[in-house]
Amino acid sequence: MRKSITFSAAAMLAMVPLVAQAQEHKVDPAETTEASKLTPEQLENYRRGVTVIRAFTAAFTSDKVDTAVKGRLISCLYNNKLSVISAAAGQALASDPALDSAKPADIYRAAAGACGITFKPVAPEDGATEEPEAQGR
């Protein structure tokens, strides 16, 4: 037991200079590969995908979202790549002037619509604003 602790401590001490050297290494822009360079469309699709996964996660944990809708969203994520859902949401955002591509709620609506979720307006109660209600098909 004592040998394994001594060996572990010696191995960790030997790695300290390597870690310090790795932290000091700065990436030169000339060293970047072609694969790491994204087009603006790909970058926007990536960012929208992050918003989609955050919004879907919030929907999964919400008590206000029906279990059928949650199941439909899970099924959509399981059967499709996130990049495909994000691209479809981007097309929906571009085609509908009522949706704003900067608002996470609108990105969620577009992505959920791409997954087959339809929204119907809910009647306002006591002067409240109109909120959409999600329903699975």
Three-state secondary structure call for residue 35: helix
Whether the pLDDT of residue 19 is over 50: the answer is no
Share of the chain above pLDDT 90, in %: 51
Sign of the C-alpha dihedral computed for residues 87, 88, 90 and 91 taken in this order:
positive
Q: Summarize the confidence of residues 65-85 as an average pLDDT.
A: 94
Q: Note the pLDDT of residue 32.
A: 58
- 133's enclosing H/E stretch is strand 132-136
pLDDT in tens, 27-38: 555 555 555 688
Q: Summarize the confidence of residues 68-77 as an average pLDDT.
A: 94
Of 30-34, 91-95, 131-135, the range with the highest mean pLDDT is 91-95
Q: Note the pLDDT of residue 38.
A: 82
Whether the pLDDT of residue 39 is over 50: the answer is yes
When the pLDDT of each residue in the chain is averaged and rounded to a whole number, the result is 77
Structure-block tokens of residue 116: 């087959």
Neighbours of 59 (CB within 10 A): 19
Instruction: Give the phi and the psi of residue 66 in degrees, each rounded to 5.
Output: -65, 150
Q: Which of 71, 69, 77 is nearest to 53 (CA)?
A: 77
Domain residue extents for the chain: 40-119+132-136
